[in-house]
A and B are shown apart, each in its own frame.
Chain A
Amino acid sequence: MKISEIKELLKAEVVCGEESLDREVGSACGSDMMSDVLAYVKDQAVLLTGLVNPQVVRTAEMMDMVCIVFVRSKCPTEEMIELATEHGMVLLKTQKRMYEACGKLYANGLGGNGERK
């Protein structure tokens, strides 16, 4: 799925990374616990989260993720936007809640593929 499709499905707003919306992503994960993202994520390229602090972007960067979707209209800070831009990451924000946002993407073919290393 292209990041632009995620944007459409979630009626999301692009916070930064507009130029990368054409990128293909194969799977996603949803979590507010960065500890769990670091421990369980394998190759998921998209992170859906309701957590807002710079560690969210650093965690995603460590996991080589390319897109973060902030649910429940959470707004990333300037510092987070700068970090994401530096790493060429796309930040999206949607009004949808976690459950619905993940469900929408999953139902449209973006899997979880969440086995452990």
Chain B
Amino acid sequence: MTDAVRLHFLVDGEDFTSAGQASVQVKKNLRQLGIAPEIIRKVSIAMYEGEINMVIHAGGGEADVLIYEDRIEIELVDRGPGIANIDLAMQEGFSTAPDNIRSLGFGAGMGLPNMKRYTDSMHIESALGEGTRILMTVRL
């Protein structure tokens, strides 16, 4: 297999205003690589939702984007509180976001279902008190 292009980002959990910087950067890189706009849109929305989640629910984390010939993989890893019930978290409208997050325009409980909708596969591993790892794939 040919080598993948790998983009790595630290996602700062302290600062909500900077959340999404990694996704903006990925979008730029994908454009430079000449990836189709529909694919770029899917990858950027899924990653942005995941990045925002890491900031508001998990105190930040790390993001890796791997670009292969036939697919793009997005891996998000955090050491936050973990997700108690993944099936419940995947339901539209389920959110534990506090009011201050809602006043910033987030916390409708739409992020995880949206990530699933925009990707071809999504896998969540989470352990309470340890953290969460989300792997998403978009086929090219």
Knowing A38-B111, A55-B52, A58-B23 touch, does A63 contact B45 (C-beta < 8 A)?
Answer: yes
In Å, the complex CA distance between A17 and B110 comes to 31
CB-based nearest A residue for B107: A35
Interface residues of B in 1-48 (CB under 8 A from A): 16-20, 23-24, 27, 37, 41, 44-45, 48
In Å, the complex CA distance between A61 and B37 comes to 13
A-B pair number, CB within 8 angstroms: 70
Find chain A residues with CB under 8 A from B48 CB. Answer: 38, 58-59, 62
In Å, the complex CA distance between A53 and B23 comes to 17
Find chain A residues with CB under 8 A from B118 CB. Answer: 117
Contact assessment for A62 and B44 in the assembled complex, using a CB-CB cutoff below 8 Å: yes
Which range holds the interface residue count of chain B? 20 to 34
Distance between A68 CB and nearest chain B CB, rounded to angstroms: 12
Which range holds the interface residue count of chain A? 20 to 34
Distance between A95 CB and nearest chain B CB, rounded to angstroms: 21
Is B106 close to A, CB under 8 A? yes
Find chain A residues with CB under 8 A from B106 CB. Answer: 33-35, 55
CB-based nearest A residue for B47: A62
Interface residues of A in 18-63 (CB under 8 A from B): 32-36, 38-39, 49, 51, 53-56, 58-59, 61-63
CB-based nearest A residue for B52: A55
In Å, the complex CA distance between A79 and B24 comes to 15
In Å, the complex CA distance between A38 and B105 comes to 11
Contact assessment for A38 and B37 in the assembled complex, using a CB-CB cutoff below 8 Å: no
Contact assessment for B45 and A38 in the assembled complex, using a CB-CB cutoff below 8 Å: yes
Distance between A112 CB and nearest chain B CB, rounded to angstroms: 18
Residues of B within 8 A of A (CB): 16-20, 23-24, 27, 37, 41, 44-45, 48-49, 52, 104-111, 113-114, 117-118
Residues of A within 8 A of B (CB): 32-36, 38-39, 49, 51, 53-56, 58-59, 61-64, 79, 117
